Chains A and B, each alone.
Chain A
Amino acid sequence: MLTSILLLFAASSLAPLAHRALGKRAGVCLAAVPALLFAHFVGQLGSVTAGRASAESWDWVAGLGIRLAFHLDGLSLLFALLVTGIGALVLVYGAGYLEGDPRLPRFSAAMLFFMAAMLGLVLADDAIALFVFWELTSVSSYLLIGFDHEQEKARKSALQALFVTGAGGLAMLAGLLLLGEAAGTLQLSALGAEAARIQGHSLHLPALLLILLGAFTKSAQFPFHFWLPGAMAAPSPVSAYLHSATMVKAGIYLLARLNPALGGTDAWHYLVILAGATTLVTGAVLAYGQTDLKRLLAFTTVSALGTLTLLVGISTEHSARAAMAFLLVHALYKAALFLGVGAIDHEAGTRDVRELGGLARAMPLTAFAVCASALSMAGLPPLFGYVAKEFFHEAKQEVPRAAAWVSTASFFGSALVAAAAGLVAWRPFFGRRRSQLSAHEAPPALWLGPVLLALLGVALGLFPGSLAVPLIQPAASAMRGEPTVVELAPWLGLSPALVQSLLMLAAGAVLYAVHDRALAALAPLRGLAKLGPDRGYQALMAGLVALARAQTRALQNGVLGVYLLVTIGSAVALAGYALFSRVALAAPAGGGVRLGEAAVALAMVVGAIAVIRARTTLIGVAALGVVGYGVAVIFLLFGGPDLALTQFAIETLSVLLFVLVLRRLPPMRQLSPPSEHLRDGFVAVAGGLFVTALVLAATATPHATPLRDWFAANSLAAANGRNVVNVILVDFRAFDTLGEITVLAVAALGVAALLRLRPEDRKESL
């Protein structure tokens, strides 16, 4: 399984090269990678259906008990098939959609990267590994949503998605760690067996809340649903992939994965069902109010995610099979719809239902794919969406509390979604043909994916027993944590569920018929939309920026003196407090002062006084040099030739730097009043006293472990070097040094960049 993830990562990094070398065929060649993986996972169906889960595992961070572990059970397999299968189709589609666009290599690379992260997420068997892949999907989806990075809207939407899902991801990490603490293991597949222990643990509720926060933000549950429609700024293939089978389903996956461990409690029921039902209705209402096809689909996605959350929240046998069936059918029809709408947009130049019409003759294949998928979304027989809807109606009878409320709410939600499906299926293709006379059928790359997905939806609906059961049964079993039998027949007979389905469709038809009038009547209410949670997000971001600005203005206002004051002042205050509250100071033990040492100290004091009294900067620099060389001499006197050597070199070079800088500065002038001199002097003296006290405390404290002796004893023996200082730097503590030179390198980059930003250059470039 690690191999398949690495294969996708490799394909991602090779994608730009492939596009350069293969030209137009690159898209299909790259799509072959996920297609092969799809075939591989299909091959695994047999053993997984038979109940044999395969696993592999490596030590990762052994000290923290973190393993790079993967586990393939029914739930993972269903997701892996969707991720790789739809992924391959979307890559082919994307190559056609962005044909001739110089950004196509970037699209393929980001898409494959996201695919790898998503596959890792659904296969991971370790909570930390899951988190890492989870965040990788957030980061790569940022790149995908912000694909049109030259447009401000795309950048803002991408950032919003990243912030919302990233913040949720951090909460989830905390939750998973608490969960691991309560369960005693981070292995996801072992959590189910610890359910009793977890649910009785005092950390159960905090862990649950934090994990739900992660899942709800990722899966766009109310009130975090606002980032999903914004993410429509991405190109159609990206939306099709992110919002059908992958990104937004990650939260559902997490809930289903943790259902054996966390599900079934009162808190779980309340929170998950409430969030799901609210999201279901909110998404459906908002979808009904749209005229842009892509936004409409986005809100139906929100509604579908609500449905899935609701079903996972019920966590009974019926709801598990309904959840998995609905997950499968939603991925199929929603991917087809997004791709189909992308094709309409590509050919007709608009996605607005009010401007589209009569395209069925011009685009028969796209019309078939979109109509079949939309009918599946509405839940019409014989499509697979109907089967999923029937299951849903059965499952919601088992809601533990307020069944009537949830039932009514989901009834209206489903009716609204059915009406929205009607808008997608009918308006663009039938009725009077409008302005887009030149529109014709999309190229094969653009209709292949939607048509295949739509056919799959039809086939699953016609032969659910032989095609859908092998997928859904193991997935539902994995979600329940116990073997679950799923029986499917295309016609479930005249049941209460069928009656509900028919009523719901009738209500949907009515809503569809009055759509234009309803929109006109509700137009005055549009202002209310501005009061949504999006506003809270905007206010939060604005507040963050204002806070950053205020503290930057206070602490980093560009006056170097203030920087020094703040740095030295806080170091003295904080470290000084810690020092004096814990360590008793003692006078240095014995030993007189040699004449040479006294002379050097005197020279340094004179140098320091000269710095203060200097009338020109050059004299100041020279006097500062005296202090620096004095320090070097002291190193030499006390047996630190390495330190002395380095100090001499540094001093020489800094004088040189000063000279180069000084040429640009105006002559020194006294600008600050005496009161500020007094303040600066006070802080400087405090800093000096503090460092003296620190040295005294350090020498007075007996060291528990004589590190010095250890280094001296091992330097030659273990590291082949007699110069202990150097051996520590390049061998014993080489990792620290690597970090330090990395920091230095970054600082040098910053300095070089800042110095190139000179005012005169800026004027030139304007």
Chain B
Amino acid sequence: MQRENLIGLEEICSHHNVEPSFIHSLQKTGLIEVIVISEAFFIESKQLPQLEKYIDFHYSLDINLEGIETISHLLQRINTLQKEVILLQNQVQFYQSNK
């Protein structure tokens, strides 16, 4: 993994003014992957938007970890269902144009 794609946990915590323990809790639930290199913690930059979302849920909306986990699963399901809706809409359109 390339080092330039990693962001230090300390940097994230100081920028967002959050406790490292919160990010470690997200890691324990599997919501965020934390990478350890020479005893320092990092996250991949591609995970940052997701992490910022969780920070916002927790610190701005007072949603606890269990709530964030549930929301994350439900949002994934919405995403899957949305794809299914598009697929079905296209099928309906296909069969209607067959009439």
A, B from the same assembly: no
